[in-house]
Amino acid sequence: MQRIFRITLIKVCIFLKYGSDGSGRDLALRLRFRILEDHAFINCAYGSNLTQDGVVECEAAYCASQGLLFGAVGAVSHIRNPIIAASLIAKQQEIVDPNGLIPPCVLVSTGAEKWAKNMGVQMCDPEDLISDKAKSVWQKANKFLSAKRELTPSEVSMDTVGAVSVNADGTCFAACSSGGVLMKIPGRLGHSTHVGGAIWAEQREHLSIAVALSGSGEMIARNILAYKIASSLFKRQDFRSPHNPLPLEIVKGVVERDFLDSFWTSKGSHNFVGGLVLFFDRDKHAGELLAFHNTSFLDFACGYSSDSTIRRCRLKSSPHNLILNSTTFHMNSSNDKIDENF
């Protein structure tokens, strides 16, 4: 299964490579994200974890730095690719309502499904989103709960699929999609639907930052962790100054202070987090991609529009041990180059 998952990550990166302008790469991020949502072994859309009632309730979110657009859907069971609905909600915020109504940034359950159908998003029967693997895992978990046996962290999947992207002009994007935690209570909303929780994408002057996170949804949402990571990096804009800490050190400090040791984080055994942080300095045509986690492993891959090579990586660790890594890259409108640090 791990090999299939890595091949899927590579396919996504290949598709994300196309389109060096804002519209091209934005379209690639939104549309090709469906490859992950259509994969039976990944916890989002088709193949999602099942609720206590044995049904799929998906969520997804999309964020763009231009206009600070954010859109999300949650607790949906009839939308084939929730990321498409989430991105459309974000895009609708650019349109002025003729009646003066404020466009929503988050829609949930039947309201989200009705809206998506009216917008032409592909719909499906709830059963179409249930994979054989998800059903088997749910049946096993249901037996454990019936026997009053507590599920271990390794048995409670908390995967959220995420992606970050940036253009040479500094426009950046972030997206995520998730089926939520296994055996969740019906109607539960995870961190994807919280602004600044799972994802963030923002551009301030010459600096662009995009963040995508996975892990313990309630804890990530309560700490608006994606926003805090980006905000802390923006406060240290001159990373080459000897008086400022490195980006890796900043991210490490935020995760430890504002998540692991946060007042809003419960002191239980499920305080897991992992993610990607992408920042780019348009004036220097340079940036850095950071990956971190405190779970058993984190799989990710990255690609560049003018580089035919796809980099893939698996960071491994013992649970609760925070691991961080990063690689630098240089990019302009005609040439992208990644350093071999991962």
Give the pairing type, strands 273-281 and 69-76: unpaired
Q: Is the pLDDT of residue 339 over 70?
A: no
Rounded to whole angstroms, how far apart are CA atoms 88 and 73? Answer: 10
Please pick, among 8, 110, 152, 160, the residue that the annotation labels catalytic.
160
Q: Is 309 a catalytic residue?
A: no
Q: What local confidence, expressed as pLDDT, does residue 316 receive? A: 85
Rounded to whole angstroms, how far apart are CA atoms 272 and 295? Answer: 6
Q: What local confidence, expressed as pLDDT, does residue 302 receive? A: 81
Distances (CA, A) of 226 to 191, 200, 210, 300, 315: 10, 6, 9, 18, 20
Provide the residue type at 324 as one letter: L
Q: Which CATH number fits domain 2-338: 3.30.70.1560, 3.30.110.30, 3.60.20.30, 3.40.50.150?
A: 3.60.20.30
Task: Give pLDDT tens digits for 83-113.
Answer: 999 999 999 999 999 999 999 999 999 999 9
240 CB neighbour count, 10 Å cutoff: 9
Q: What local confidence, expressed as pLDDT, does residue 335 receive? A: 54
The vertex-161 CA angle with 182 and 2, nearest 5°, equals 80
Domain map (residue ranges) of the chain: 2-338
Answer for the pair 22, 35: CB distance below 8 angstroms, yes or no: no
Q: What local confidence, expressed as pLDDT, does residue 76 receive? A: 99
| pTM score, whole prediction | 0.88
Q: What local confidence, expressed as pLDDT, does residue 12 receive? A: 46
Q: In what order do the strands lie in the sheet with 172-178?
A: 106-108, 69-76, 58-64, 172-178, 161-166
